[in-house]
Structure 1
Amino acid sequence: MTRKCLTIILAAGKGTRMKSDLPKVLHPVGGLPMVMHAINAAKTAGTDRLAVVTGHGAELLDEALKSHGVDAQTCIQKEQLGTANAVDAARSVIDEGFDDVIAMFGDTPLVKPETLADAREKLKAGADVVVIGFETDNPFGYGRLVVKDGQLTAIVEEKEAIDAERAITFCNGGLMAFNGRKLGGLLDKIDNKNAKGEFYLTDAVAVANAQGLHVEAMIASEEDVLGVNNRVELANVEQIWQERIREKHLLDGISMTAPHTVFFHHDTKIESGVVIEPNVFFGPKVSVEKGARIRAFSHLEGAQIGANAEIGPFARLRPGANLSEKAKVGNFCEVKNADIAEGAKVNHLTYIGDASIGAGANIGAGTITCNYDGMNKAKTTIGAGAFIGSNSSLVAPLTIGDNAYIASGSVITNDVPVDAVGFGRARQETKLGLAVKLRARIKAMKEASKKT
């Protein structure tokens, strides 16, 4: 029989140490709000239902959940009275009846689905409460997990621990799993007789032991349960997440010559055989097909890159940049909302915006598609096999036909037909000997300026 699982995400805290108007759990890791990492882990682990406990910034959190297509019951924690009080805010959902209930935090974005699945396996095997802990060489400040004969007998906080307990290196990670049929009864027995007057979910361990229930602790990696309380910790979590995703891509057959300098977004899609040089940044919605090469110091966002295409170095691809197979965007080029067909080349110092570049076309250095008149955007269409000379300005709306030529330095304002040559520049004149007179005049002006 399939076990039903509810996951409760605690996301009501103010996160004052973040010093931000944005609710803490909405701060991004890999471009995705932390709470979404926790939710995705729960979904991958097989949860059937999600309850998100909100408080501070509830409206912003609701909007974020909706924008990411999350089907979850939101529950308001009206007062910040501790973690057990937060879980109890989801009592109406708990009372629907679940075999497994997982309680986790919205600011622990590194938890792996396998960790949550392992906790559920322990519940399936007969545990009533499972506390997810971790081993550390420096346990100072953490609650210690006291285990005897396989039973977790207590969670002892640092300030209350005796010397023998302080020597324990098995620490509380904060994530817990419960027999869903017994969780309500445990919550009812947790009191707030402590210095802060709060209801602590960790007290469920003592309550469960008093009731003769089976309480276990399991080991996860310290990274799995790493929470975020300030910007320093957020940066640390981002670094760990990036390291994980780099390793995944390397194992999937993607080459990186300096992996630690490459930064990915959570939705980056890269096929095997891609080569990524140092100092490349992937923003949202980028896909790269097999055999492509992303050269150093390139910035990509909202771009689709075809097989065996080449980008950079020092290239910027903005949203809507679509490169077909073997297309090339070279150094110091920017592409926005443009289709670049198979084998087309945009090699040097060029801006291509709101455009369509035909197969095999060659765009010379310094070319600009003049797509904006101060109020409206217009499109430039360049046909297959066309050659655009260096330092050309193409004033949209404009169509340049297949195999047409544009003379270097031209300003093109009218369509150029198939196989035609477009000129749009002043005629050159050469004045023999004039350079001698010009230098003399410039020198005289310089000498005069020294005397004044």
Structure 2
Amino acid sequence: MAKRNAIILAAGKGTRMRSKLYKVLHQVCGKTMVDHVLTQLENAKIENIITVVGFGAKTVEEQLGHRTHYVLQKQQLGTGDAVMQAKDLLANEDGETIVVSGDTPLFTAETFEKLFQYHEQRHAAATILTSIAPDPTGYGRIVRNEVGIVERIVEQKDANVKEQAIHEINTGVYCFDNKKLFAALSKINNDNAQGEYYLTDVIGILKNAGEIVTAYKMADFDESMGVNDRIALARANKLMQARINRHWMQEGVSMIDPETTYIDADVQLGKDTVLEGNVVIKGHTVIGNDCYISAGSRIIDSTIHDAVKITSSTLEDAEMHNGSDIGPNSHLRPAAEIGENVHIGNFCEVKKAYIGANTKVGHLTYIGNATLGKNINVGCGVVFVNYDGTNKHHTNVGDHAFIGSNSNLVAPVNIAQDAFIAAGSTITDSVEQYDMAIARARQVNKKDYAKKLPW
């Protein structure tokens, strides 16, 4: 099999996005558009990938890293000029080269593979990936002769009335014989309405040279969608979300209302997990088997093990181990780690803290910069006072300790295992094993005092 190459066109600024962010860096389901394209090319086993950068080149390179080579298009002179920037890296290489735009995030590896196969089976110099558009306005049209052979591609601004009526459109993806591509690129000019060097002109040059030019018509027009403005970006997100949700339901995840369930592209979900509607799962979150995530939950870059229940709560860079549960209306902030069978009740917040197995944190509690052991009871309204206005300090609580309601643990402090903190105490000194700490004023009752009050 001939060597397979790919060129991603990612040099445009994207003025119609009305954004300081370069177009290909806008996200679809948690991943930049150009990253979606690169990922699918990688999945198609493309051996050599080159990304043409221009506006925002440094940021694009930071996003994609060493997964691709880069060439710079200094001036935006059209798609043909963009591909020419890869000449030094590719022009003398044997094999086939696919060209795809970085603002087409919905293409799949399967489609790229089918395009390659179609191209190779017909020994073509060029194969155009086409589709039938319900409304072809704005797309280049595929002009065929009376027997269906591709003659040329006509851009919207250069098309006459008859050509504008054609519904078969150019998706902007091509497969070329690599050496013939660069030989033809040297012959194109910018004699057109835009004054640009069109990659599409290569098709005419190859045709006139007697080369075989074919077109592979893909079935799903939506997959070819290019994103040029915020309206298209929203639609691309909707289409990608439906694809992601369908995949996970086929893999054994239950979704009560898929249309209101939002899952990023890099999320991983286990079997027999149930997601209610209005759940958002983002970033590189991993959720295990048999979990239940209720409506209103938002989970970002977190690891959720098996049989975990999350009720209307928010997790960020957190971890919950097997059998634990949280909520409703609680918040795990970065570096919160919840052990096996731990219960975190409602209106609790945990940050940069480890909570050991079988510990219970009922409600209305803040735990920050702390290590809690096993089988601890943390009462209502407990505050781990970890900040002195300048620095954060750590609190340790041993196994089987009891922290009474409305207690304040002022860090740094150590509560030994089996210690008991009386309700309403403010603890500033360490408590030894089996000790009970009481740190509150003694109650005094003033007999008949209420009779003196004016009401």
* Structures share fold, TM-score greater than 0.5: yes
AA aligned to 2:207 is N
The CA distance in 1 between the partners of 2:276 and 2:447, in whole Å, is 50
The CA distance in 1 between the partners of 2:259 and 2:428, in whole Å, is 46
1:299–1:315 CA contact under 8 A, matched in 2: yes
1:395 aligns with 2:410: yes
Cα distance, 1:248–1:394 mapped onto 2, change above 3 Å: farther
Cα distance, 1:4–1:343 mapped onto 2, change above 3 Å: farther
The CA distance in 1 between the partners of 2:252 and 2:52, in whole Å, is 40
Deviations 1:394-424 (A, max 9, x none): 2222222233332222222222233333323
Report how many aligned residue pairs link the two structures: 436
Structure 2 match to 1:123:
119
Structure 2 match to 1:44:
43
1:294–1:311 CA contact under 8 A, matched in 2: no
Structure 1 match to 2:398:
383
The CA distance in 2 between the partners of 1:137 and 1:165, in whole Å, is 15
For structure 2, list consecutive stretches of 5 or more residues without a partner in the other structure: 297-312
**How far apart are residue 82 of structure 1 and its match?**
0.3
The CA distance in 2 between the partners of 1:8 and 1:147, in whole Å, is 26
**How far apart are residue 7 of structure 1 and its match?**
1.2
1:262-301 equivalences under 5 Å are 262-297=261-296, 298-301=313-316
Structure 2 match to 1:182:
180
1:410–1:423 CA contact under 8 A, matched in 2: yes
Cα distance, 1:245–1:426 mapped onto 2, change above 3 Å: farther
Cα distance, 1:291–1:12 mapped onto 2, change above 3 Å: same
Structure 1 match to 2:442:
427
Query: Alignment partner for residue 86 of structure 2, among 87, 90, 99?
Result: 90
Deviations 1:41-60 (A, max 9, x none): 11111111121111112222
**How far apart are residue 150 of structure 1 and its match?**
5.4
Percent identity, aligned pairs only, is 40
Deviations 1:114-134 (A, max 9, x none): 111111112221232122222
Q: Larger deviation: 333-342 or 5-14? A: 333-342
Cα distance, 1:372–1:31 mapped onto 2, change above 3 Å: farther
Structure 1 match to 2:205:
207
1:291–1:307 CA contact under 8 A, matched in 2: no
The alignment yields a C-alpha RMSD, in angstroms, of 2.3
Deviations 1:162-200 (A, max 9, x none): 555444322221111211131111212222111221011
The CA distance in 2 between the partners of 1:425 and 1:295, in whole Å, is 40
AA aligned to 2:81 is N
1:110 aligns with 2:110: no
The CA distance in 2 between the partners of 1:292 and 1:326, in whole Å, is 13
Cα distance, 1:301–1:244 mapped onto 2, change above 3 Å: farther
TM-score (ref. length: structure 1): 0.89
Q: Aligned to 1:263, what secondary structure does the other structure show?
A: strand
1:290–1:308 CA contact under 8 A, matched in 2: no
For structure 1, list consecutive stretches of 5 or more residues without a partner in the other structure: 444-452
1:219 aligns with 2:234: no
Query: Alignment partner for residue 420 of structure 2, among 393, 405, 409?
Result: 405
2:134–2:167 CA contact under 8 A, matched in 1: yes
**How far apart are residue 40 of structure 1 and its match?**
0.8
Structure 2 match to 1:31:
30
Cα distance, 1:180–1:63 mapped onto 2, change above 3 Å: same
Cα distance, 1:78–1:250 mapped onto 2, change above 3 Å: same
The CA distance in 2 between the partners of 1:437 and 1:229, in whole Å, is 76
2:151–2:204 CA contact under 8 A, matched in 1: yes
Structure 2 match to 1:5:
4
Cα distance, 1:222–1:430 mapped onto 2, change above 3 Å: farther
AA aligned to 1:370 is V
Deviations 1:189-214 (A, max 9, x none): 22211122101112222222222222
The CA distance in 2 between the partners of 1:152 and 1:312, in whole Å, is 61
Query: Alignment partner for residue 343 of structure 2, among 328, 331, 335?
Result: 328
Q: Larger deviation: 185-194 or 321-330? A: 321-330
The CA distance in 1 between the partners of 2:343 and 2:291, in whole Å, is 10
The CA distance in 2 between the partners of 1:10 and 1:174, in whole Å, is 10
The CA distance in 2 between the partners of 1:331 and 1:153, in whole Å, is 67
2:400–2:419 CA contact under 8 A, matched in 1: yes
**How far apart are residue 161 of structure 1 and its match?**
4.1
Deviations 1:218-248 (A, max 9, x none): 2332332222222232222222222222222
TM-score (ref. length: structure 2): 0.88
Cα distance, 1:381–1:3 mapped onto 2, change above 3 Å: farther
The CA distance in 1 between the partners of 2:114 and 2:393, in whole Å, is 56
1:150–1:216 CA contact under 8 A, matched in 2: no
